[in-house]
Chains A and B, each alone.
Chain A
Amino acid sequence: MDFNDTPEEAKFRAEARAFLEANCKPKQAENDRMSRSLKPEEYMKAAKVYQKKKAEAGFAGITWAKEQGGRGLPPIYSVIFNQEEAKFDAPSGVFSIGLGMCVPTVIAFASDEIKNRYVAKSLQGEEIWCQLFSEPGAGSDVAASKTKAVRDGDDWIVNGQKVWTTGAHFSDFGIVLARTNPDVEKHKGLTMFIVDMKAPGVEVRPIHQMSGGRDFNEVYFTDVRIKDSHRLGETGMGWNVALVTLMNERLAVGGSYGPDYKEIFEFARGINSPTSDGPLIKNEAFRQKLADWIVRAEGYKLTKFRTMTALSKGQMPGPENAIGKVINANQMMDIGNTAIEAQDHYGIINDPELAALEGAFHQSYMFAPGLRIAGGTDEILKNIIAERVLGLPQDQRADKGIAFKDLPTGR
Chain B
Amino acid sequence: MNFDFSDDQKSLKDQARKFLSEKAGAKVTRGVLDNAAVSFDETLWRSVAEMGWLGAAIPEEHGGLGLGRLELCVLAEELGRAAAPIPFSSTVYLFAEALMLAGSDAQKAAHLPKVAAGDTIGCFATSEGPGLATPSSIETTFSGGVLNGVKIPVTDGDCAHYAVVTAKEGAGVSLVLVDLTQAGVTRTTLKTLDPTRGHAKLEFKNAKAERLGAAGQGWELAEAVLDRAAVLIAFEQVGGSQACMEMALDYAKSRYAFSRPIGSFQAIKHKLADMYVAIEVARSNAYYGAWALSTEAAELPFAAAASRVAASDAYYLCSKENIQTHGGMGFTWEVDCHLFFRRAKLLAVQAGAPAVWKEKLVKRLEQKNAA
Measured CB to CB, the residues of A under 8 A from B are 1-5, 9, 76, 265, 281, 284, 287-288, 290-292, 294-296, 298-303, 305-306, 308-310, 312, 320, 323, 326-327, 379, 381-383, 385-387, 389-396
Contact = CB atoms under 8 A, between A and B. Distances in A.
B2 A393 contact: no
B358 interface: yes
B310 A390 contact: no
Interface stretch (B83-91, B287-295, B327-335, B340-348): B287-295
Contact of B281 (A291, A296, A382): A296
Shortest 5 CB-CB distances between A and B: which pairs? Answer: A299-B281, A291-B358, A386-B269, A302-B284, A382-B273
A312 B1 CA distance: 8
Contacts of B269: 382-383, 386-387, 392
A385 B310 CA distance: 20
Nearest to A382: B273
B361 A291 contact: yes
Interface in B242-258: 245, 249, 252-253
Nearest to A9: B1
A309 B264 contact: no
A302 B283 CA distance: 9
Contacts of A385: 272-273, 276-277
B132 interface: no
Contacts of A294: 306, 361-362, 365
A223 B2 CA distance: 54
A383 B294 CA distance: 37
B369 interface: yes
B241 interface: no
Most buried by A among B270, B273, B285: B273
Contacts of B5: 1
Contact of A299 (B261, B272, B282, B369): B282
A308 B359 contact: no
A394 B253 CA distance: 11
A302 B276 contact: no
B264 A393 contact: yes
27 contacts: A1-B287, A1-B290, A2-B291, A3-B291, A4-B1, A288-B355, A295-B281, A295-B306, A296-B310, A299-B285, A300-B281, A302-B3, A302-B288, A309-B2, A309-B3, A309-B4, A323-B277, A323-B280, A379-B266, A379-B270, A382-B270, A383-B266, A385-B277, A390-B276, A392-B252, A392-B263, A392-B269
Contacts of B310: 295-296, 299
Interface string B211-255: 000000000000000000000000000000000010001001100
A393 B277 contact: no
A393 B272 CA distance: 12
A287 B285 contact: no
A399 B360 CA distance: 53
B366 interface: yes
A306 B273 contact: no
Contacts of B366: 281
Contacts of A291: 305, 309, 357-359, 361-362
A288 B353 CA distance: 12
B364 to A, nearest CB: 10
B315 to A, nearest CB: 13
Given A291-B359, A306-B284, A298 B306 contact: yes
B263 A327 contact: no
A199 B367 CA distance: 60
A320 B283 CA distance: 13
Given A1-B294, A392-B249, A392-B272, A295 B277 contact: no
Contacts of B1: 2-5, 9, 76, 305, 308-309, 312
B291 A1 contact: yes
Interface of B: 1-6, 70, 245, 249, 252-253, 260-261, 263-264, 266, 268-270, 272-274, 276-277, 280-285, 287-288, 290-291, 294, 305-306, 309-310, 313, 355, 357-359, 361-362, 365-366, 369
A290 B3 contact: no
Given A327-B277, A392-B249, A2 B2 contact: yes
A385 B281 CA distance: 14
A382 B4 CA distance: 25
Contacts of A310: 4
A305 B284 CA distance: 9
Contacts of A301: 284
Most buried by B among A284, A305, A312, A379: A305
B276 A389 contact: yes
A3 B3 contact: yes
A265 B5 CA distance: 32
Given A291-B358, A305-B3, A309-B4, 5 more contacts: A265-B365, A292-B358, A309-B2, A390-B272, A394-B264
Contacts of A390: 245, 249, 272-273, 276
A310 B3 CA distance: 9
A264 to B, nearest CB: 11
Given A383-B269, A390-B249, A396 B359 contact: no
B287 A392 contact: no
A386 B365 contact: no
A187 B242 CA distance: 35
B359 A288 contact: yes
Contacts of A9: 1
B261 to A, nearest CB: 5
A291 to B, nearest CB: 3
A393 B261 contact: yes
A302 B287 contact: yes
Nearest to A387: B269
A1 B290 CA distance: 9
A389 B277 CA distance: 11
A312 B2 contact: yes
Contacts of B285: 295, 298-299, 302
A43 B46 CA distance: 70
B3 A308 contact: yes
A382 B281 CA distance: 15
B150 to A, nearest CB: 29
A288 B358 contact: yes
B309 A382 contact: no
Contacts of A305: 1, 3, 284
A381 B276 CA distance: 12
B307 to A, nearest CB: 9
Contacts of B313: 292, 295
A303 B284 contact: yes
Nearest to A383: B269
